Structure 1
Amino acid sequence: MVGVGLGAILGLFDEILNYLGFPLPVRSGLIVALWLKLTGGLHLDGVVDTADGLGVTDTTRRLAVMQDSVTGAFGVMAAIVVLGLKTIALSQISSDRGLIIMIAAGWGRWGQVGAIAFYPYLKPTGKGAFHKQQIKLPEDLLWGLITLLVITGVWIAFHQQKWRLGLESVIMGCILALGIGFWFYRRLGGHTGDTYGAVVEWTEALILCSLSRDLTF
């Protein structure tokens, strides 16, 4: 629900930029910048730290590297890829942009909830530990899933010719949101606050890339 609300704010900002005459690529870059600002860079920081940890060949040092405040080369490259993918994909989406952003941000956070629910937390404490302790199952997963299904259903109801795209957004959302969390689990044996953030960012970016195929000029 937080992701959907964030997407609505970004969609409104995008409409304002469109009204002011900004071209699509510029609007997309500004949207991604505001996206980063509104989240405080918290999830992107997770992308950076997770990439640095996974870049270490010694698996026993990965958590220590992820906790290090120094940003390494792998983290910088991962951040550039995520921000670049989001900007490029948005630049190819010319219709229903606000709704697509809501869907991407919603599925990103639903994937985070899935990672919290299904996999062990790797540290006794940390910035994501309280999420693991406070999660309520199955309602936390169900409410988010129902919200996303309702939004997609309303979109299809008003744009019946795009029902396949709506169905694709649900299928890809589920696959990416759950699959990315599983991939990090397989690589690390569990999750941390950093990987929770990485799940959000990578899910958002890849869903935007997937949907850009059907919403081009």
Structure 2
Amino acid sequence: MMRFLLGLWASVLFYTSIPLPYTNGLDFQGVARFAPVVGLLIGGVLGLVDTGLSYVAMPVLTRSALVVGLWIFITGGLHLDGAMDTADGLAVGNPERRLEVMADSATGAFGAMSAIAILLLKTSALTDIGSFRWLVLMAACGWGRWGQQVAIACYPYLKPTGKGAFHKQAIRNYQDLLPGLLLMFAVSGLLWFGNGHNFFVPMVMVIAGSAIATLIGAWFNHKLGGHTGDTYGAVVEWTEALFMCVLSILV
């Protein structure tokens, strides 16, 4: 139990900007194993804030925009920065220069446009979701980080070093994906209990979440021949945004 808690503590420190104190004995090599759990924690915080703002009768669009802004703050923009760098790299016509452009800290036009698109999709989708918003936020954050695990397990890492290089040691095969997948099944089951045992929406949550998370990672691999720390972030952001767009139709 202590080892689990220390691993989770290290993951929260790595993936978020939550000001937790540093503790001796933390092992950051295995933080990717806890990524879906960290996602659920982030979504839970966002859901609590969203619920609290609803009690003061804040308009839904303003509330959604504030929640998305808090979303960026909690993650420190880590994944959004990766999505921006990935967009700049994919905009380059020469495939051999894409990694070089992605490593550049300067943000280009395509990176800015991708960030705008992601934030608009999240804000508009969350505005259109009328019930179980807290659960949708948790599910979106969880599926996004499970998609990151899929990308780590299934595709080669394109750099010898980098922020995401050590993730390959933590997520090595398909068996390492099962805990996160079962956890997301359980989250979808919460909607089944809370929605009068309606099976359709939870089933769509599982199918949409797993499919989007898997396909986005596969698409980046197709374009680049593998993944980097930036594309891991892009998988998280685009999975979250597109998953919420699908759920806005149903919830």
Is TM-score (shorter-chain normalized) higher than 0.5? yes
Shift of 1:94: 1.1
- Preserved CA contact (<8 Å) 1:24 1:94: no
Q: Indicate if the aligned counterparts of 2:152 and 2:172 stay in contact, CA closer than 8 A.
A: no
Task: Report the counterpart of residue 7 of structure 1 in structure 2.
Answer: 43
Write the distance in 2 (CA, Å) between the matches of 1:134 and 1:141. Answer: 11
Q: State the percentage of identical aligned residues.
A: 56
Spell out, residue by residue over 1:57-103, the C-alpha distance to the aligned partner (whole angstroms, 9 max, x if none). 01110000000011100000000000000000000011000000001
Structure 1 unaligned blocks of 5 or more: none
Matched with 2:168 is 132
DSSP-derived class of the 1:129 partner: coil
TM-score by length of 1: 0.96
Matches within 5 A, 1:138-157: 138-157=174-193
Q: Give the counterpart of 1:159 among 178, 195, 206.
A: 195
The residue aligned with 2:216 is 180
Residue matched to 1:78:
114
1:41 maps to 77
Alpha carbons 2:87, 2:111 under 8 Å: kept: yes
Q: Cα distance, 1:171 vs. partner?
A: 0.3
Distance 1:90 1:60 in 2: 38
Deviates more, 1:91-100 or 1:150-159: 150-159
Work out which structure has the larger RCO, using CA pairs closer than 8 Å and 6 or more positions apart in sequence: 1
**CA drift at 1:136:** 5.0
TM-score computed with the length of structure 2 as normaliser: 0.83
Q: Tell me by how many angstroms 1:139 deviates.
A: 4.6
Give ranges in structure 2 of 5+ residues lacking alignment: 1-36
How many angstroms apart in 2 are the aligned matches of 1:209 and 1:128? 28
The secondary structure found in structure 2 opposite 1:160 is coil
Deviates more, 1:155-164 or 1:139-148: 155-164
Q: Residues 174-200 of structure 1: CA distance to partner in whole angstroms, max 9, x if unpaired? A: 110000000000000000000000000
- Please name the residue that 2:125 is paired with: 89
Q: Equivalents in 2 of 1:79, 1:166: separation in Å?
A: 29
1:108 correspondence with 2:144: yes
Contact kept? 2:154, 2:173, Cα under 8 Å: no
- Secondary structure of 2:250's aligned partner: coil
Number of residues of Structure 1 aligned to a counterpart in Structure 2: 215
RMSD (Å) for aligned C-alpha atoms: 1.1
Partner of 1:56: 92
